[in-house]
Structure 1
């Protein structure tokens, strides 16, 4: 069993988000993602995604609606809810994907 500390070894890249796999099996995938100010492409995912802002702030666009998130906020994104990140400021995300 490996212990992963979400607050340790945080790195940012000015050119891209950094995704780190924390855990994965046939039912769930957990990532830590760090982002400075990147705007993402649109996502249309098969699985439920639950995001938590560990640090920083962000604005997501989900099916045309803007949702502001700050440290501590948790947001479930249903399968096939088209979404993207339109603003980020030194964000550390905890992303949990529940596979179908």
Structure 2
């Protein structure tokens, strides 16, 4: 048995991505942020749908066509495939732990 909120990185020079499960039609990741945002190179435009859940902390997801959605502990959001988006803010004062489920 494992706990998604244990073994969190003590220092975060960059966001930490950890694969939890990978199968042919689904991928689950734990993402740990602290003041991190998406890379400056552009928008995520994914082949898969993505469902995200904030387990700890808070973050904001900005869609290219709007809106900007603020998520806090317990909030979840579905991002359809090819919905161009980016993380525009995560709490710099506390760790934000996301659970991301990618599926086709």
TM-score w.r.t. structure 1 length? 0.90
Contact kept? 1:47, 1:98, Cα under 8 Å: yes
Matched, 1:29 2:27: yes
CA RMSD of aligned residues (A): 1.3
- Provide structure 2 residue ranges, at least 5 long, that are not aligned to the other structure: none
Residue 70 of structure 2: aligned partner? 68
Distance 1:62 1:37 in 2: 19
User: Following TM superposition, where does structure 1 have runs of at least 4 consecutive aligned residues deviating by more than 2 angstroms?
Assistant: 12-15
Query: Could you tell me how far apart the structure 2 residues matched to 1:15 and 1:26 are?
Result: 31
**Match for residue 6 of structure 1 among 4, 15, 20:** 4
6-15 or 27-36, larger mean C-alpha shift: 6-15
**Counterpart position of 1:88:** 90
The Cα of 1:79 is off from its aligned counterpart by 0.3
TM-score, normalised relative to structure 2? 0.87
Correspondent of 2:13 among 15, 20, 33: 15
Stretches of structure 1 that go unaligned for 5 or more consecutive residues are none
